Each structure stands twice: as structure tokens, then as C-alpha cells.
């Protein structure tokens, strides 16, 4: 049985008298022990979705089952108990600014009714887990962003949760810090067997640690499945856009890629583990004696396997394009044509 089942969940907000559908008939299952990514651009509804999991937002329609229990059926008391099993970390850490690091970690334990002494002992163990033992008596304002998130993670782990919800947990951090926080989350998942749900707008985060991913766009679930599958063969435009990391350009209002290559045929190439080390493109250029335009190239670690992708702009000429495509297929590359909206 899935740890979390989301069945036909919709959420409608009232925005100045107008109904706004933030989530539209979402269906998902998250297995126990998984690291599940939910990705979408800002406004896609992913933060609302994660809040529907612990009922910080109550879905307008549909059911959320956690450990087989319908969240809507719980009494206030049971819901609070349930929430202690599903900890949450946030983009802006949300630590108590007037409390020391150790008191922040103790906080959920106090809520559970723990005595100060035992709470402090447990908090020290957790601070050790996240590598911040020596900062126990510091205050959040004295910590860096990454350290604050580590405190938040220690706090989240304090009650021994079964599920950890991460709402844009690395979005306010620089790439190095992001990597170290993700490594910590991966570690927690492996060692403690905690199911992790990660909300993000960064594909890099998904590629780094998630096994499964769901893609949200305008409140709808457009695609979901294994990260590798979706990364290699994105079906929806939203998925492609996220994978190509085009978000920042879109936000600037124009797509540089489009302007430069609108005339050429574009191919997206995915390297498997075998082809990564073979100079296929260079050989191809030598063989055909034509220039191809490398529009984008990237190599990433996907689920422990080195994966590369590249977008090539092919020269004009149907015959030549066909030959180049055949050549690449022959060399074991996965190719697909990408269209203008990429």
C-alpha cells in the first residue's frame, strides 16, 4: 500500500470573490521510503499540493490518505498527532528567531510533552546528525542559510517522522549548499527510511535525489513516473521546459535559443551510459563535413548514472538531416525532434 495516496484532489481558492482552481483533480501515489519530487513553475500549485498532504490546506474535493487513513476523517487531536508523523521543512526555514538552535530542535518535542532534559538530549543527537552540534547555543540569526536549513531538518526529525515534506527547501540556498542539503536528505532517506516528498522548481534537485517525479502545470498533473523515464522522454511541454532549464530565460521574457535557431531542425539527444564517453558528435561532424550548432549541452548524475543531453541545431537540407539522424541512432543515441516552443 502506498504511504501517501492522493485521490482526485482539487483545491479552489477564493481570490477577491473569484474562484481560482489551484489544484485540479490530482491523483498520485507515493510509496513508502521513496524520494518523490513534485516540480512545477511558480504558481503551478505545488506548494498547495504539499500542504494538502498534512492538511495545512484542506482540499476542496478529493481524498488524501496517509498510511491508509483518510486525513479528512481525523479529529483535530488525531490530525495533530498525524502531523507529528509528517514533518515539514520550508524555503525560508521558519525557525524561531528568539530561541537558540537547540531550543528550536526541542520545540516539537515540547509539543509532544517531552521533559526539558530528555528533549535536550535528543536535540543534541539530532544536531550531531546534521553536523551542527557546536552551534547548539547559537541563535538562528548567527547561522548561514545552509546551517539554518540543517537546524530545520534536525527539528523535523525530532519526533521521528515517517514522512518528510520539503517545500522548496533548497530554493534559497546557493548550489554548493543545496548539494550538501540534498546529500543530507538522501542520507536521512537511506538511514532512517523516511519517505521524502520534495517540492521544487529546480530540475537539478529532482535529478540529484528523486526516484519519482510528478510535474504540475497550472494546477494539473501533466506527467509523473520514474525520474529517468521522464528525463529521457518527456512527453509534455511543461516537462520539456523544466528539463531544458529554460525557466530563467522565459522569465526574462524572451527565449534566446529560439531567436538563434528558428530556421534549423532541432534534435534533443540523450546519451546513455555507454555513449557518454564516445566522441559521437565530433565523429559525426568529421564524417559529414558539416557544422552543427550545439544549442545546449549538459551532463548530469541521474540516479547514480552519468547522463548527458544535448540539443543540436542541424544544418538545412532534408536528406542531410535524415543521414545525421540515422547516424546517431546507429551510434545508440536516443534522439527526438524538439519543436519551436522549447
Partner 1 sequence: MFDQTIVNMIIKGIGETLYMTLLSTLFGYIIGLPMGIELAASDRDGIRPNALEYKILDVVSNILRSVPFLILLILIIPFTKMLVGKSYGSTATIVPLTVSAAPFIARMVESSLKEVDPGVVEAAKSMGATNMTIITRVLLPEARTSLINGMTIAIGTILGYSAMAGSVGGGGLGAIAIQYGYYRYEFGIMIVTVILLVLLQQIFQTIGMKVSNSLDRRRN
Interface residues toward partner 1, by CB under 8 A: 54, 56, 79-84, 86-88, 90, 92, 94-100, 107-108, 110-112, 139, 141-142, 152, 155, 159, 165
- From CA 36, how far away is CA 198, in angstroms rounded? 6
**84's grid cell:** 507529528
Nearer to partner 1, 100 or 180 (CB): 100
- From CA 186, how far away is CA 61, in angstroms rounded? 33
- From CA 119, how far away is CA 125, in angstroms rounded? 10
* CA-based nearest residue to 145, from 106, 198, 92, 109: 92
Residue 97 Cβ vs partner 1, minimum distance, rounded to whole Å: 5
Beta-carbon contacts of residue 73 (< 8 Å; ≥ 6 apart): none
Nearer to partner 1, 136 or 284 (CB): 136
CB atoms within 10 A of CB 28: 21
Residue 119 Cβ vs partner 1, minimum distance, rounded to whole Å: 13
Q: What φ, ψ does residue 228 adopt, rounded to 5°? A: -60, -45
Nearer to partner 1, 122 or 307 (CB): 122
Nearer to partner 1, 141 or 339 (CB): 141
Nearer to partner 1, 169 or 238 (CB): 169
Nearer to partner 1, 139 or 288 (CB): 139
Task: Collapse the DSSP code of 61 into the 3-class scheme (helix H, G, I; strand E, B; otherwise coil) and give the result.
Answer: strand
Nearer to partner 1, 126 or 267 (CB): 126
Asked whether 186 and 35 are in contact (CB, 8 A), the reply is yes
Classify residue 107 by its DSSP letter: H
**18: enclosing H helix or E strand:** strand 18-30
Residue 29 Cβ vs partner 1, minimum distance, rounded to whole Å: 22
Residue 280 Cβ vs partner 1, minimum distance, rounded to whole Å: 49
Residue 155 Cβ vs partner 1, minimum distance, rounded to whole Å: 8
Residue 47 Cβ vs partner 1, minimum distance, rounded to whole Å: 11
Sign for the CA dihedral angle at 159, 163, 168, 169 comes to positive
Residue 48 Cβ vs partner 1, minimum distance, rounded to whole Å: 13
Amino acid at each position: 500500500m502506498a504511504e501517501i495516496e492522493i485521490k482526485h484532489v482539487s483545491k479552489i481558492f477564493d481570490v477577491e470573490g473569484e474562484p481560482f482552481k489551484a489544484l485540479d483533480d490530482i491523483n498520485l501515489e507515493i510509496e513508502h521510503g521513496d524520494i518523490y519530487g513534485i516540480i512545477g513553475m511558480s504558481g503551478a500549485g505545488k506548494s498547495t499540493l504539499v500542504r494538502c498532504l498534512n492538511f495545512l490546506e484542506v482540499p476542496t474535493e478529493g481524498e488524501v490518505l496517509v498510511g491508509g487513513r483518510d486525513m479528512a476523517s481525523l479529529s483535530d487531536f488525531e490530525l495533530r498527532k498525524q502531523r507529528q508523523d509528517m514533518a515539514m521543512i520550508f524555503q525560508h526555514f521558519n525557525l524561531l528567531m528568539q530561541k537558540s538552535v537547540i531550543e528550536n530542535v526541542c520545540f516539537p518535542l515540547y509539543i509532544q510533552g517531552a521533559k526539558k532534559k530528555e528533549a535536550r538530549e535528543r536535540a543534541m543527537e539530532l544536531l550531531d546528525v546534521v553536523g551542527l552540534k557546536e552551534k547548539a547555543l547559537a541563535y538562528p540569526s548567527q547561522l548561514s542559510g545552509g546551517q539554518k536549513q540543517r537546524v530545520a531538518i534536525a527539528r523535523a526529525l525530532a519526533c521521528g517522522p515517517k514522512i518528510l515534506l520539503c517545500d522548496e527547501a533548497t530554493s534559497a540556498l546557493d548550489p554548493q549548499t543545496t548539494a550538501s542539503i540534498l546529500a543530507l536528505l538522501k542520507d536521512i532517506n537511506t538511514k532512517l527510511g523516511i519517505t521524502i516528498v520534495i517540492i521544487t522548481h529546480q530540475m537539478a534537485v529532482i535529478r540529484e535525489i528523486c526516484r519519482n517525479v510528478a510535474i504540475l502545470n497550472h494546477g494539473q498533473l501533466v506527467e509523473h513516473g520514474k525520474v529517468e523515464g521522464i528525463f529521457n522522454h518527456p512527453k509534455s511541454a511543461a516537462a520539456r521546459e523544466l528539463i531544458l532549464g529554460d525557466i530563467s530565460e522565459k522569465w526574462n521574457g524572451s527565449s534566446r535559443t529560439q531567436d538563434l535557431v528558428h530556421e534549423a531542425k532541432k534534435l534533443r539527444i540523450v546519451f546513455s551510459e555507454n555513449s557518454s564517453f564516445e566522441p559521437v558528435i565530433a565523429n559525426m561532424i568529421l564524417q559529414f563535413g558539416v557544422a552543427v550548432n550545439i544549442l545546449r549541452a549538459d551532463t548530469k548524475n541521474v540516479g547514480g548514472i552519468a547522463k548527458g543531453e544535448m540539443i543540436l541545431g542541424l544544418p538545412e537540407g532534408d536528406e542531410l538531416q535524415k543521414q545525421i539522424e540515422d547516424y546517431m541512432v546507429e551510434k545508440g543515441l536516443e534522439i527526438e525532434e524538439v519543436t519551436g516552443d522549447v
